Amino acid sequence: MSIYRNAVWFMKGLQEYTKSGYEAAAKHFVPNDLDVNLTGRSFMVTGANSGIGKAAAQEIAARGGTVHMVCRNKGRAEAAKDEIVERSKNENVHVHIVDMSSAKQVWEFAQNFSQNNKIHVLINNAGCMVNQRELTDEGLEKNFATNTLGTYILTTALIPSLKQVEDPRVITVSSGGMLTQKLNVDDLQFERGAFDGTMAYAQNKRQQVVLTDKWAAQHKDIHFSSMHPGWADTPAVQSSMPSFHAKMQSKLRTEAMGADTVVWLAVSAAAIKQPSGLFFQDRKPVPTHLPLAWSRPSAQDEDQLLAALQELALKFKP
């Protein structure tokens, strides 16, 4: 990780990614952008049992949308569903138990879902930051399997269904941490050198931004976007980055603040007036590279990433 990129990113984060950064940005939000009735529209939210995913699902349900919560833990998912239904008074909230780190499970779920349900909006929110290198039962590094390959398979498998509805959208919750990383296609599963979970996570988030740009170019009839939620006080941050959480807790955004741009991208008319494929922060498109950071990948590297993901995905397709 470049020392320059890391330092510039952290200073940027203190100014923009914190609670005060959100409050400053929110002064310029259009107040009625989220005044929409979502009855009849179907939203899939991965990682929806806590944190930003749960907050986004709550806001969508409150506006009448049908919500499909894709979660790994049944007990937590059902408890989150009950809370969302109670608060929103919307019974159209459904739980699907899927381990996003299992390529085969993701394929099977997406194929079955497509046969029985409509989907208007996919929100790729599920993610993990495992700080010790760990392999899944399928032999894949866990961060990569969850954050990148799982997201790739789910999105790819649902694209045909998305193309059958009006105003289809895909939002991928990335991270500003990806600004510290240049795309590295030579070691996608971090098999070389000392393993760094934070770096692996940031690299996965860079991969998600590249995928969003590529999907937008390939599928013009779907609106794709990726976004940074800011530094939010979520269970994932508490468990994966305990020292960062302890030092920054008073400055961290609420889960609702972190979810705001996710919801805006998923439901507002203003969002789809923006070009497809962009990276957003606080309802505005922002650059995907820091100034003078030398982090831009070549077109060849981007194509190599897509080819590697396609090959891996097909390996696990039922």
Nearest to 48 by CA among 76, 85, 17, 7: 76
The strand pair at 284-285 and 66-71 is best described as unpaired
The strand pair at 169-173 and 93-97 is best described as unpaired
Asked if 279 and 229 count as a contact pair (C-beta separation under 8 A), the reply is: no
Tokens of 193: 């050198």
Nearest to 183 by CA among 154, 211, 215: 211
pLDDT at 243: 77
Nearest to 260 by CA among 234, 230, 237, 285: 230
* DSSP calls for 90-141: ---EEEEE--TT-HHHHHHHHHHHHHH---SEEEE------SS--B-TTS-B
Phi-psi map region of 293: left, alpha, beta (phi>0 left; psi -120 to 50 alpha): alpha
How far apart, in Å, are the Cα atoms of 229 and each of 37, 180, 290? Answer: 24, 16, 17
- pLDDT tens-digit map of 279-305: 999 999 999 999 988 899 999 999 999
Q: Among 17, 22, 152, 201, which one carries the catalytic annotation?
A: 201
d(CA 24, CA 222): 31
Average of pLDDT values for 204-210?
A: 98
Counting residues of the chain whose pLDDT is more than 90, the rounded percentage is 88
Tokens of 285: 């498109």
Helix (H, G, I), strand (E, B) or coil at 286: coil
152 catalytic, yes or no? no
How far apart, in Å, are the Cα atoms of 61 and each of 1, 8, 54, 253? Answer: 40, 38, 10, 22
The model's confidence at residue 9, banded by pLDDT at 50, 70 and 90, is confident
The model's confidence at residue 236, banded by pLDDT at 50, 70 and 90, is confident
d(CA 138, CA 160): 26
Q: At residue 50, what is the residue type?
A: S
Tokens of 19: 């609670």
pLDDT at 181: 95
pLDDT at 137: 97
Strands of the chain (E only): list them.
Answer: 42-46, 66-71, 93-97, 121-124, 169-173, 223-228, 278-281, 284-285
CA 43 distance to own-chain centroid: 14
75 CB-side CA count, 13 A: 0
Helical (H) or strand (E) element with 203: helix 197-218
Average of pLDDT values for 28-35?
A: 95
Q: List helix spans (H) across 142-191.
A: 142-143, 150-162
Asked if residue 10 has pLDDT above 90, the reply is no
Higher-confidence residue: 232 or 132? 132
Asked if 101 and 76 count as a contact pair (C-beta separation under 8 A), the reply is: no
pLDDT at 133: 97
